[in-house]
Amino acid sequence: MRVALLMGSDSDLPRLEACLDRLRELEIPFEARVLSAHRTPAALVEFVTGAPERGVRVFLCAAGGAAHLAGVVAAHTDLPVIGIPMDNPPMGGLDALLATVQMPAGVPVASVAVGGGGPANAALFAARILAVSDESLARRLADFRRRQGEKVLEKDSRLRAKLEQ
């Protein structure tokens, strides 16, 4: 395994599909778990501290509300941690974003956007971290970026053709 995707609740899974899709597309092995910083703290710490032995190199932590998951993970590992603030009610994810980005000095957690592209970008950020030492993944990531650009140029071409009619 190379990436561990943790979510505080299984209700987050549908909004994390883009993350899973990018990991699969880039052929990055992952394990996904529902573990809570508040409701299963001992199980979370056990999972995090055992992760390096299982080959985990990056943690992706999705949580809403108080969003302590990424911070608790970061407190128990030296591996990179990327927080994915979930856009849950009642604050639409602002609470989760603030909880994720306000880590004390010495306990770093990167963060992606709330909602929208956040989950996909978390997977891509993890891919960039891993690609530093994995040439095959670096090539797959470059191909992914090239395909993204091609799609935009195709859309541009269709728009220009439509407007010229």
pTM of the model as a whole: 0.94
Residues (pLDDT < 50) of the chain are none
Residue 69 domain-assigned (yes or no) = yes
Question: pLDDT for 8-54, tens place per residue?
Answer: 999 999 999 999 999 999 999 999 999 999 999 999 999 999 999 99
Closest CA to 94 of 64, 118, 61: 64
pLDDT at 70: 97
In angstroms, the Cα distances linking 112 to 50, 119, 160 are 25, 7, 33
Tell me which residue range forms the domain holding 63: 3-134
The per-residue pLDDT for 46 is 98
How confident is the model at residue 48, as a pLDDT?
Answer: 98
pLDDT on residue 89: 87
Burial (Cβ within 10 Å: 0-12, 13-18, ≥19) of residue 111: buried
CATH code: domain of residue 115: 3.40.50.1970
Q: Is the residue at 149 inside a domain? A: no
Q: Is the peptide bond before 104 cis (omega within 30 degrees of 0)?
A: no
**Which region, left, alpha or beta, applies to residue 127 given φ > 0 means left and ψ of -120 to 50 means alpha?**
alpha
Number of structural domains (the chain) is: 1
Residue 31, in any domain of the structure = yes
pLDDT at 115: 84
Asked if residue 145 belongs to a domain, the reply is no
